[in-house]
Chains A and B, each alone.
Chain A
Amino acid sequence: MATGVDRRRRHKRGTRQWALGHFWTIFTWILAFILFFPVLWMVITAFKKESNAYTDPPTLNFRPTLTEFSQVINSTSFTGGIPHALEDSAFVTIATLILVLAMGIPAAYALAIRPVKRWRDVLFFFLATKMLPFVAAVVPIYVIATHLGLLNNDWVLVILYTGFNLPLAVWMVRSFLLEIPKELLESARIDGAGVFVELTRVILPILLPGIAATALICVIFTWNEFFFALFLTNTNGTAPVFLSGFQLNEGQYWAELSAAATLCCLPVIAAGWIAQKQLVRGLSLGALK
């Protein structure tokens, strides 16, 4: 008897937990949908015709069209059009990434594996510079860029963004390097591996996910940066500067705007989705495991 009641009670509790679990799952899904909705709506609006974008109430009943995408790609009305903006953004992002990794990895290596004197000070100097509000330095940067004739030149952005992202890169790559077990390096050395072999055969393969995390964070910050891009290259802008041009139209042409925004955001969203695991590690600056 007693065991029967017990079992029934346990069964009941199981059902309740099962229901509760489903409740939380559905709740999570609803929250996620609400937060994702603005992006989803941007993509949906991008496939509308302008006349379908302005309806009261907002509608899902429309025939998807690529009109606005082709309109946006072929239009060169201001700042050279979207192909030009994307090209600029791609150039700035890739050049920055190469410079950051080329300088950041050796610095991180020096700090992690073969500590130089006062490395802790150097490290905190790197991190402290990351925390400076660069916005505050726009005046001299603008003046210096003007004097050097670098205004409206993509290279001025490359130089600046490299400066913004280097501290982050050094910090992160170093924390990934620290995870490599010392025994592994020692055994490689005992096997007679030179420094070069040690670097390319032992360290690099383990470090690759860490480098990917670092690269992803750099790409996000570089591609999305607006303040300096606006100040320094306003006639020859990157994707965010191009998009800000739509603001001049008092936010009209919603479908065209959505199509342009979708195109400009696509590379970074795709990169972030693909490298999700790295994003999680990267945002915690590699200091958290």
Chain B
Amino acid sequence: MPALLYMIVVTQVPFLVTLWYSFRGWNSLVPGSNKFVGFSSFSTVLSDPMFRQAALVTVEMTASAVILSMLLGTTLAILINRKFRGRGIVRTMLITPFLVIPVATGLLFQTTIYGSYFGILDWIVSWFGISQVTWASTYALPSVVAVLVWEWTPFMMLIVLAGLQSESLEALEAAGVDGANAFQTFVSITFPHLRRYIELGLLLGSIYIVQTFGEIFILTQGGGGNGNGTTNFAYYIYKQVANADNYSLGAAAGVIVVIATEIIAAFALRLLSGLFQATEGT
């Protein structure tokens, strides 16, 4: 099993080393600081108001992006699950946002969409007599969330669509024969069937969106609000390592992030294991 060995080396070793550094006081700008300091990096990180804010920002950003993109994605999945002219083209258009490089997405929104004077959004709000909003700095968090929703809606749409298409036609026909209207059929048959697909989409989406970095790097550099309004965990670690050269604080923050993500992942795994047994019929 070379794959297993490789996985252990590449994924587990760095985490062990992260753990090791997190107990040391290493700041690359301070000579001799690379020594054992116990839990002091953890207490520094946990008592750092910026880290606590980063935790809050991560939760807010992830939850709103995941929920909104799921709502939009489900709507779109239901819409394109019908037969209509140009369905293939519409689906092609809809999956595109997911394929664009996140950094490019960030740049595109920063310039041609959110840009002041010449951006599309400024042009649209000018119809309503509002002029010149510096979107990415005035509304930092909503701007980033909007970009994330744009990117992740196709992902949610495709997962829900897979659910819709796996629905048994017999159940739907039986409901039709029993005189259920479209709404009743959706509530009593389609939704329960879709539920685990929606759950899977929400969990996988959360795991990816928690790690958002490129969009923030481009759009707001973690700013907004009181100056750190869009600094999530990933950006916090980046700031600690790249700007403050504080490797141990970055490592300690990393350990905390891993623990937090594993809690979500545990739910995801349990759900997947259920789906997995269902599709295998074991």
Contacts and interface: CB of A to CB of B under 8 A. Distances in A.
Contact of A36 (B93, B241, B251, B258): B93
Interface in B84-106: 84-86, 90-106
Interface in B1-29: 1-4, 6-7, 10-15, 17-18, 20-21
Contacts of B161: 280
A166 interface: yes
B273 interface: yes
Query: Chain A contact residues (Cβ within 8 angstroms of B): what range?
Result: 35 or more
B51 interface: no
B181 interface: no
Contacts of A153: none
Contacts of B80: 28
B112 A56 contact: no
A103 B163 contact: no
Interface residues of B, number: 100
B98 to A, nearest CB: 8
A138 B158 contact: no
Contact of B207 (A131, A269, A273): A131
A167 to B, nearest CB: 7
A136 interface: yes
Interface string A152-194: 0000000110110011001000010010000000000000000
A240 interface: yes
B223 to A, nearest CB: 13
Interface of A: 21, 24-25, 27-29, 31-33, 35-36, 38-39, 41-42, 45, 53-58, 103-104, 106-107, 110, 116, 122, 124-129, 131-144, 159-160, 162-163, 166-167, 170, 175, 178, 220, 223-224, 226-227, 230-231, 239-241, 243-244, 246-247, 251, 254, 257-258, 261, 264-265, 268-269, 271-273, 276, 279-281, 283-285, 287-289
Interface of B: 1-4, 6-7, 10-15, 17-18, 20-21, 75-76, 79-80, 82, 84-86, 90-113, 115, 117-120, 123, 126, 150, 153, 155, 158-159, 161-163, 166, 197, 200, 204, 207, 210-211, 213-214, 217-218, 233-234, 237-238, 241-242, 247, 250-251, 253-255, 257-258, 261-262, 264-265, 268-269, 272-273, 275-276, 279-280
